[in-house]
Amino acid sequence: MTTLENVAKLAGVSTATVSRTLNTPEQVESTTRAKVTDAIAKTGYKRNEMARTLASQSSRTIGLLTDTFSSSYFSPILEITTKILHQHGYFTLVEAMGSTPSTTSSETQNRAWHSLTSRQVESVILLSGLINDDLLRRMFSEFPSSVIIGQTIKGAEDRCVSFDHYKGGQLAAEHLLKKGHRQIAMIKGSSYREDSVERAQGFKDELAANNIKLDADAIFEGDYTVDSGRAATKKILKKRDNFTAIFSHNDDMAAGAISELHIAGVDIPNKMSIIGFDNSAIAQAVHPQLTSISQPIKAMGHSAAILALNLSKSQRNKNEFEQPQLRFSPEIIERHSVKQLNTVAEQ
């Protein structure tokens, strides 16, 4: 392991000079800079980021904390955030906390959090989803440079990147209504998730505004997996035979629904329409391709990264970033899973 000191000796300068040519090259004369650069090349020197962190009291790293690595949000968020952070000389550290409060030991959660903070992250990006998760909120409050994607926390709105789930639900209802659907079933997500209750509420309210009531027996619960969508659909088919459309709270469950409908011989969209949520990769892979409410994940990740950078210690840098967009709106991506029903005056 070559150290700064080795390089310094070889170049015939002090360690400070080597450090300078590495960090602020403009402060060192070009001739000495050349000597140093040479020595670095010869020795194959690589700086030790750990020592650097300790000495400079700044780690130039930002944590990304998710519920589970298999979440469909995780990869795109990780991709965009690392890209941006790298552009600014920052590293990313990832940890997972477990998908639900109950499923995960608080030990796991604490370990994840500790793993991040003990490594001196300057900010952490919380990938939310869990509601009632006191821990998450506590982390958010206790770590003043953390930002959160997915919910808005009172009194700290400027650290929250959020999405209008309520409006997303409305949009889904509006679309189905416009297409003439009146008998609609909903496959919702866990009641633990705030986003899911908001989606449900927006959907219900929009229907209600059009004098349509979403009956309790038209609501089915899933856990965001393909299989749970399949199971819910089985129940839907058993329950009543006059539904013409299904609103699913995510695309995976919608895919399960589609699969189950195929098996039951129900034609999509002619006998049953379906609309998903998230516009994730799977929406384009199923047949018919799924109409879905899109959440601009990448853009939200982008905002979060900028926010995190702004809040970082090392960000004593003169050039601050412009304040990024914090609130994002849904958009409907029409594909081929919703049918225009023949005009019928009333349900």
Partner DNA sequence: ATGAAAGCGCTAACAC
Partner DNA sequence: GTGTTAGCGCTTTCAT
Q: 3-state DSSP call for residue 153?
A: coil
Interface with DNA (CB under 7 A), residue from 38, 41, 42, 51: 51
Do residues 130 and 193 touch, judged by C-beta distance below 8 A?
A: yes
233 binds a second copy (CB under 8 A): no
29 binds DNA (CB under 7 A): yes
19 binds DNA (CB under 7 A): yes
37 binds a second copy (CB under 8 A): no
Q: Which option in a second copy, DNA, none does residue 32 bind, with CB closer than 5 to 8 A by kind?
A: DNA
Interface with a second copy (CB under 8 A), residue from 259, 266, 299, 324: 259
38 binds DNA (CB under 7 A): no
Between 3 and 183, name the residue whose CB sits nearer to a second copy: 3
Interface with a second copy (CB under 8 A), residue from 22, 32, 47, 326: 47
Q: 3-state DSSP call for residue 219?
A: strand
43 binds DNA (CB under 7 A): no
Measured from the CB of residue 28, what is the shortest distance to a second copy in angstroms? 21
As a whole number of angstroms, the distance between CA 31 and CA 15 comes to 16
Do residues 164 and 102 touch, judged by C-beta distance below 8 A?
A: no
Interface with a second copy (CB under 8 A), residue from 94, 149, 173, 311: 94
DSSP string, 325-341: P-EE--EEE--SS---P
As a whole number of angstroms, the distance between CA 315 and CA 318 comes to 8
| Nearest in space to 314 (alpha carbons), one of 184, 157, 123 | 123
DSSP string, 223-249: -SSHHHHHHHHHHHHHH-S---EEEES
20 binds DNA (CB under 7 A): yes
| Nearest in space to 92 (alpha carbons), one of 116, 114, 113 | 116
57 binds DNA (CB under 7 A): yes
Interface with a second copy (CB under 8 A), residue from 36, 78, 148, 309: 78
317 binds DNA (CB under 7 A): no
Between 14 and 317, name the residue whose CB sits nearer to DNA: 14
Do residues 160 and 326 touch, judged by C-beta distance below 8 A?
A: yes
> How many chain residues interact with a second copy (CB under 8 A)?
49
Q: Please, which residues have CB within 8 angstroms of residue 190's CB and are 6 or more apart in sequence?
A: 100, 196, 221, 223, 224
Q: Where are the alpha helices (DSSP H) in 24-151?
A: 30-43, 49-56, 74-87, 106-117, 134-142
Q: Which option in DNA, a second copy, none does residue 284 bind, with CB closer than 5 to 8 A by kind?
A: a second copy
| Stretch of 49-57, 141-149, 178-186, 284-292 lying at the interface with DNA (CB under 7 A) | 49-57
59 binds a second copy (CB under 8 A): yes
Measured from the CB of residue 343, what is the shortest distance to a second copy in angstroms? 27
Q: Which option in a second copy, DNA, none does residue 13 bind, with CB closer than 5 to 8 A by kind?
A: DNA
103, burial (CB in 10 Å: exposed 0-12, middle 13-18, buried 19+): exposed
Binding site for a second copy (CB under 8 A): 46-51, 53-54, 59, 68-70, 74-76, 78-79, 82, 86, 91-96, 111, 114-115, 117-120, 226-227, 252, 255-256, 258-259, 262-263, 281-282, 284-289
